[in-house]
């Protein structure tokens, strides 16, 4: 664990090995504490997870480059009912940013659907790399959430949520800024997801804000992932864990590729577990529908509010 009790100007780093990723092991318990402490203090942590090999890392970013090299006319075919889950690019406020979302990315059907849309004649290596990567990250997400829910004694509640969890993979590309162009890749925000797991390729740019207001740069590494809490996690956890504020700043003129796996809860009314409500922690959130929140986020009311999730279901 890379941090002491007091806040430092470094994000917590947690190693995940075969040993401590196994429930009932002694190191599982200590890792669990570190995970919860990191999420409470920083809303995120850097995870070194060796199940995702260098080979998988390279394959998924190769797949991503191949995807972005497709013509825009093809990429815009990826649409979604949910703003931001389809194709995004050439947005006036974030001109460097481009992304494509793959819904249900941990299922063969989800990945197949997307692959066929982009390559009507198929693309096996793309399909296989995406599915393998998504499944591994999805499993990792479940390890993390199991640790969190055990630690708060809310395993049963998590079990219900887990059954309704869907995964979205966003493949993201930033072009380098031109001379005199602003260097903002992505403006400061929190994610609307439950949990987000980010992965960068070679070029840094991701920055996370600490509670005392400093922006910390996250260095890319093939085996490291950034696990962040999203807005929905805060509402489910009655505010115990806050969402991580982050942004992307481009420094050189090199292109930057990154991946985000976002979890969402579908077809379930999410409720704060009873265990998280007491005199010290009065109930702060009404039961909510995560996907309805995604729609709400793009309304005028949400735009005007400082914290859309609170505007949506806060008490
Ligand atoms: O590119 C990154 O590292 C961050 C992307 C991100 O924050 C997002 O898509 O919500
Ligand atoms: Fe984000």
Give tens-digit pLDDT for 268-279: 999 999 999 999
- Of residues 47 and 2, more confidence is placed in 47
Q: Is the pLDDT of residue 28 over 90?
A: yes
Joined together, the tokens standing for residue 265 give 């809860």
- The enclosing domain of 126 has a CATH number of 2.60.120.330
Looking at residue 18, what is its pLDDT? 87
Question: Ligand 1: which residues within 6 Å by Cβ?
Answer: 170, 172, 186, 191, 198, 200, 206, 246, 248, 258, 260
Mean pLDDT value across the chain: 95
Name residue, tokens 């390279």.
Answer: 58
State the pLDDT confidence band at 8, using cuts at 50, 70 and 90. low
By the 8 A CB rule, do 206 and 248 touch?
Answer: yes
Closest among 243, 294, 237 to 265, alpha carbons compared: 294
The secondary structure of the chain in percent helix, strand, coil, rounded to multiples of 5, reads 35, 25, 40
194 lies in a domain?
yes
Beta pairing partners, 168: 103, 262
- Looking at the domain assignment, is residue 135 inside a domain? yes
Q: What is the pLDDT of residue 4?
A: 47
Q: What is the pLDDT of residue 24?
A: 82
Distance (Å, whole) CA 243 – CA 174: 23
Look at residue 7 and tell me whether its pLDDT is greater than 60.
Answer: no
Is the residue at 159 inside a domain?
Answer: yes
Residue 6 lies in a domain: no
pTM, full prediction: 0.96
Instruction: Output the residue whose Cα is nearest ligand 1's atom 1.
Output: 258
Looking at ligand 1, which atom is closest to the CA of residue 200? 3
In this predicted structure, the answer to whether residue 6 has a pLDDT above a threshold of 60 is no
Q: Is residue 60 in some structural domain? A: yes
Nearest CA to ligand 1 atom 3: 206
What local confidence, expressed as pLDDT, does residue 5 receive?
A: 44
| Token pair for 156 | 């049963």
Q: Ligand 1 pocket check: which of 84, 246, 250 to mutate, most ligand atoms within 8 Å of Cβ?
A: 246
Yes or no: say if 118 and 74 are a contact pair by the CB < 8 Å rule.
Answer: yes
66-94 pLDDT, tens digit each: 999 999 999 999 999 998 999 999 899 99
Q: How far is Cα 240 from Cα 40, in angstroms, rounded to an integer?
A: 7
| Assigned domain for 35 exists | yes
From CA 199, how far away is CA 159, in angstroms rounded?
26
Q: pLDDT-derived band of residue 19, with 50, 70 and 90 as boundaries?
A: confident
Separation of CA 216 and ligand 1 centre (Å): 15
Per-residue pLDDT at 14? 98
Query: How far apart are alpha carbons 255 and 32 in whole angstroms?
Result: 36
- Calpha distance 137→120 (Å, rounded): 27
Which structural domain, as residue segments, surrounds residue 231? 13-313
Asked if residue 2 has pLDDT above 50, the reply is no
Number of domains in the chain: 1
> Per-residue pLDDT for 3 more than 60?
no
| Strand pairing category for 13-16 and 44-49 | parallel
42-57: average pLDDT = 96
Please write the tens of the pLDDT for every residue from 174-220: 999 998 889 999 999 999 999 999 999 999 999 999 999 999 999 99
**What is residue 216's predicted lDDT score, i.e. its pLDDT?**
97
SS (H, E, C) 129-160: HHHHHHHHHHHHHHHHHHHHHHHHCCHHHHHH
- Asked if 45 and 35 count as a contact pair (C-beta separation under 8 A), the reply is yes
In a domain, residue 276? The reply is yes
Strand spans (E) along 53-108:
87-91, 94-103
Q: Write out pLDDT tens, residues 124-133.
A: 999 999 999 9
Judge whether 8 lies within some domain.
no
Ligand 2 mean position, distance from CA 173 (Å) = 13
């Amino acid at each position: 664990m890379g941090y002491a009790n007091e806040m430092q100007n470094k994000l917590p780093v947690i190693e995940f090995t075969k040993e401590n990723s196994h429930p009932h092991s002694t190191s599982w318990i200590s890792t669990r504490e570190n995970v919860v402490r990191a999420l409470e203090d920083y809303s995120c942590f850097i995870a070194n997870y060796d199940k995702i090999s260098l080979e998988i890392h390279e394959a998924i970013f190769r797949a991503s480059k191949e995807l972005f090299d497709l013509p825009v006319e093809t990429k815009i075919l990826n649409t979604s009912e949910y703003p931001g889950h389809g194709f995004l690019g050439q947005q006036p406020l974030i001109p460097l940013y481009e992304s494509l979302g793959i819904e249900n990315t941990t299922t063969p059907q989800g990945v197949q659907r997307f692959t066929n849309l982009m390559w009507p004649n198929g693309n096996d290596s793309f399909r296989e790399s995406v599915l393998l990567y998504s499944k591994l990250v999805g499993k990792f997400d479940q390890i993390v959430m199991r640790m969190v829910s055990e630690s708060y004694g809310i395993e049963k509640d998590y079990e219900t949520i887990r059954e309704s969890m869907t995964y979205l993979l966003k493949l993201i590309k930033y072009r380098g800024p031109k001379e005199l162009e602003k260097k903002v890749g992505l403006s400061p925000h929190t994610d609307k997801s439950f949990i987000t797991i980010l992965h960068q390729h070679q070029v840094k740019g991701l920055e996370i804000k600490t509670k005392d207001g400093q922006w910390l740069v996250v260095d890319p590494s093939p085996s490291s992932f950034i696990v962040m809490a999203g807005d929905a996690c805060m509402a489910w956890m009655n505010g115990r864990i806050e969402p991580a504020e982050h942004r992307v700043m481009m420094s050189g003129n090199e292109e930057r590729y990154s991946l985000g796996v976002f979890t969402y809860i579908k077809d379930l009314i999410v409720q704060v577990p009873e265990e998280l409500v007491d005199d010290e922690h009065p109930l702060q959130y009404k039961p909510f529908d995560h996907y309805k929140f995604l729609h709400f986020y793009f309304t005028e009311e949400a735009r005007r509010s400082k914290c859309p999730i609170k505007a949506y279901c806060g008490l």
